[in-house]
Amino acid sequence: MFKNIETIKNADLKSYNTFKIGGRGTIVFPKNIYELKRVIKECKNNGLDYFILGNGSNLLFPDYDLEKILISLKYFDKITEKKSGIYIEAGVNIYALNNFCLMNKFDGLEWSFGIPASFGGLVYMNGGAYGHTIFDFIKRIKILKDDKIIWLKKYDIPFSYRKSNIEGIILGAEVKLKKTDENIIKEKQRYYFECRKKSQPLNYPSAGSVFKRTNDLIPAKLIDSLNLKGTKIGGAEISKKHAGFIINVDNAKSIDVRALIDYVKNKAGIDFEEEIILLN
């Protein structure tokens, strides 16, 4: 299966997510759309579920070996400047994207500087920070659905907070950014990164904010008010720095994080919706 396509069997999944948690699994790395279509076809023909793997920055793997096939789009990593906008492939790292914007004087995405994600993952989750989301800048999105490549216009997509509702595999997206002086961009990037360092526990493995906020509820504030900062189960802890983060302080297992999530919900009396993806 997946002959002549780069594949890692029995991969240690701890190395493929920012939580540094997980068992083992099979990861396939298609280099182009033709290989991607072939991988999906072979998965379907063999009755195998698959999951599109980005940078693993918003993801919790299980402790046991994963039966799903993980499909990494890391080779879909091109950024192309066009008259209509900038086309960014799904596998582009957000650090690389910010560097491209700085070098080419494109302003608008500085708020994302320091997010350890892939661009496809950011679009899929409608990721955002500091009052911005990626959908503020998107014009259209290229997806693979039912073996066909389709372009979706932004306003044809029922996106919402931390959710894109896209049915299909995100291959890339075209964004609209304005030009400005590179020193302005550099200063904004520095500012947002300093904000992250001050407020977030960047020195520990995590998957970012665990729970989604709503119009009337900010989970981190409620968790803080319940004095749950520092609460530990196994190797997982509610961050003392930011109550919305669960961090891996001592070789945490997935079961530890999940138990801590349930503990927070029980203490708060609210069934928070997770912002992170709990993969089974």
Q: E strands, the chain, where?
A: 7-12, 24-28, 50-53, 59-60, 69-72, 79-82, 85-89, 106-107, 128-129, 132-133, 138-145, 148-153, 169-175, 178-179, 206-209, 232-233, 236-238, 245-248, 277-278
3-class state of residue 69 by DSSP: strand
| 162 part of the active site | yes
**DSSP designation for 277:** E
DSSP code for 21: -
Among 89, 110, 174, 275, the one annotated catalytic: 275
Exactly one of 112, 209, 239, 254 is catalytic; name it. 209
Angle of helix 94-104 versus helix 182-199 axis, rounded to 10: 150
Active site residue 84: no
Query: Which helix (DSSP H) or strand (DSSP E) does residue 257 occupy?
Result: helix 254-268
Residue 275 among the catalytic residues: yes
The residue behind tokens 């190797």 is 235
> Of the listed 162, 206, 237, 254, which one is catalytic?
162
Pairing of strands 148-153, 232-233: unpaired
Rounded to 5°, angle at Cα 51 from 175 and 110: 30
Q: How many angstroms separate the most distant Cα atoms in the chain? A: 54
Strands 50-53, 69-72: parallel, antiparallel or unpaired by DSSP? parallel
As annotated, the active-site residues are 162, 209, 275
